[in-house]
Structures are given as structure tokens and as C-alpha cells.
Structure 1
């Protein structure tokens, strides 16, 4: 189990390296092994994507906002695990 601060740091690292730099990333599965399986990191990454999506929408970047929102939903499903 990972603590909250470490999960946030890991989420920022992944976001900066993969989500922000690659505007064409539309499925989290495309990250492959770069995507951690730890639920705390996935939840932190989901929250980060939602916040960045909100900021993008407020700035008028609707395509980017929708892309990040979709990624956040995919991350939530991964964090919740199989049903």
C-alpha cells in the first residue's frame, strides 16, 4: 500500500510524462506497463485528470477537456477493479 503523498507524486509524474505530453492519448490501456496497478495512484491520477479537464474546459479547450474527462472515467474503472 502506498501513502497519499507518494500516490499524488506518482500521479503527477505519470500525468506529466504521458497524459500532458501526448495529446493523442485517448485510452489508458495504450500506456501498457507505464500505468501502475496500485489503486491509490490510479485514484490520484483520476482526480488530477478531472481537475485538469475542468481547467481546460474553463479555458475554452473543449476537446482537451473531454479527452481528459474520458481518461478520468477509464482510470476510475481501473481503480475500482473488476466487478
Structure 2
């Protein structure tokens, strides 16, 4: 199991609200992977924690129910939503 999947599973197991899960995921991601670009709200109602190195192609997605999943793919699609 990858480090990102383990992080997603552990935060999901806490049964937090979406806002709390986003904060915890961002803090844990910063400790595990260095800096992040922070928590980004995306139009579908979920949030995503983006790494500073977008070429990594992995980010942490926080769903409306507070569960966390690993998003793999083109992270540049989320840059327009950076605040």
C-alpha cells in the first residue's frame, strides 16, 4: 500500500467532517511530503490537497462526507481554483 493510500485510509477512519478532514489531511501531507499548495475547493463540492510538485500526479481528495481518497492524474486542472 502506498504512503498516500495509508494517509487517506487513516484520515477516513477518523470520521471527521469535510472541513476537519481537509485540515488534518493538509497537515499530514505537509509532514509526509514537505510543502503543499494547501486545500483547494473544487466545483464538485469536494476539496483537494495539492502537492507543490504537480508533476507528482497524486493529490489527496476530501469528499463531502469527510472520506479521503487518492486522486491520480493531471493536477494542473485544479490550479484555476487556487486562492
State the TM-score bracket (shorter-chain normalisation): 0.3 to 0.5
| TM-score of the superposed pair, with normalisation by structure 2 | 0.36
State the structure with bigger RCO (CA 8 A, min sep 6), 1 or 2.
1
The structure where helix makes up a greater share of residues is: 1
Larger Rg: 1
Higher strand proportion (structure 1 or 2): 2
